[in-house]
Amino acid sequence: MTTKNKIIAQNIYLILAALFISSLVASNLIFQKFFYWEPFGLYRFEISVGILPYPITFLITDILSEIYGKKKANRVVIAGIFASFFSMIIILIADFAPAIDNSPINNKTFHQVFGLSPLAVFASMLAYLFAQFIDIRVFHFWKKRTKGKHLWLRNNFSTFFSQFIDTFTVVFLLCTFGVLPWDIFTSLLISGFLFKVIVAALDTPILYGIVYLFQKKFNLQPGEEILD
């Protein structure tokens, strides 16, 4: 690979890492709003808006795993952990700081919106640790078994399994911490998991397209990774 292509590959890696981290942090900040989605009247999904950017993180880790390798994918996961905990510290400090009398947002409103975020970050990070590392490991397991072929297989198998772990862990912990009531545990688990499965299936063509562009740009063979 030429020096120019190495620089381009590194810049793309940094952009993907930035998208991953921003999606992860945003999902933790907005999780308290819930909405419903009823496609074609077949099933009523009741899910947090925090789930909307979350599938992006799994798509990006699959791209990184396929193109840049397991080691670099793990680096982004670890960076996401630090970014999330750092955002939690900032939120705690901001929540503790007293609002002035003419502040557009008073202490009560700010705490109501962001006060539970540290608990969400903690629950999300535990789920995230389990799910992302499992996703990367399962992805590379199938990549090795299929000798770099059948990208759809490792993309969906790794994501389906890791998404169930992620959804179960985060909903269980939020209910345990008293953030969410236990009577909606089952519905949130089913809705969250099914939503992520649908998104994972829909993003398979996107993954194929992105991997194809990488292979064409950097002259990679199927299953070949960009080396340091």
Q: How many domains does the chain have?
A: 1
Look up the domain containing 86 and give its range.
Answer: 3-218
Residue 88 is assigned to a structural domain of this protein:
yes
Tell me the pLDDT tens digit for each residue of 38-52.
Answer: 877 778 878 888 888
Give CA angle at 67 (66, 72), nearest 5°.
Answer: 90
Highest mean pLDDT range out of 38-42, 68-72, 178-182? Answer: 68-72
- 95: tokens are 């929540």
DSSP letters spanning 2-69 = -HHHHHHHHHHHHHHHHHHHHHHHHHHHSTT-EEEE-GGGT--EEEEGGGSSHHHHHHHHHHHHHHT-
Tell me the pLDDT tens digit for each residue of 138-161.
Answer: 767 767 776 666 666 666 667 777
CATH number at residue 166: 1.10.1760
**Which pLDDT band holds residue 73 (cuts at 50, 70, 90)?**
confident
Residue 223 is assigned to a structural domain of this protein:
no
Q: Report pLDDT for 131.
A: 73
Residue 226 is assigned to a structural domain of this protein:
no
Q: Report pLDDT for 120.
A: 67
* pLDDT tops 90 at residue 19: yes
* pLDDT tops 80 at residue 117: no
Q: Report pLDDT for 172.
A: 85
- Radius of gyration of the CA atoms of the chain, in A: 19
**Mean pLDDT, rounded, of the chain:** 82
Distance in angstroms (rounded) separating the CA atoms of residues 83 and 125:
11
Distance in angstroms (rounded) separating the CA atoms of residues 117 and 96:
13
* pLDDT tops 70 at residue 5: yes
Q: Report pLDDT for 52.
A: 84
Count how many Cα atoms sit within 13 Å of the Cα of residue 2 in the half-sphere of its side chain.
Answer: 6
Residue 18 is assigned to a structural domain of this protein:
yes
170-183 mean pLDDT: 81
Higher pLDDT residue, 139 or 175? 175
**Contact present, 50 and 155 (Cβ < 8 Å):** no
Q: Report pLDDT for 11.
A: 93
Q: Report pLDDT for 134.
A: 75
**Which pLDDT band holds residue 18 (cuts at 50, 70, 90)?**
very high
Q: Report pLDDT for 142.
A: 65
- Per DSSP, what are the bridge partners of residue 36? 46
**Which pLDDT band holds residue 35 (cuts at 50, 70, 90)?**
confident
- Other beta carbons less than 10 A from residue 152's beta carbon: 13
* pLDDT tops 90 at residue 99: yes
Distance in angstroms (rounded) separating the CA atoms of residues 134 and 167:
13
Residue 184 is assigned to a structural domain of this protein:
yes
Q: Report pLDDT for 148.
A: 66
Residue 95 is assigned to a structural domain of this protein:
yes
**Contact present, 56 and 19 (Cβ < 8 Å):** yes
What's the full length of the chain, in residues? 228
Residue 123 is assigned to a structural domain of this protein:
yes
Residue 53 is assigned to a structural domain of this protein:
yes
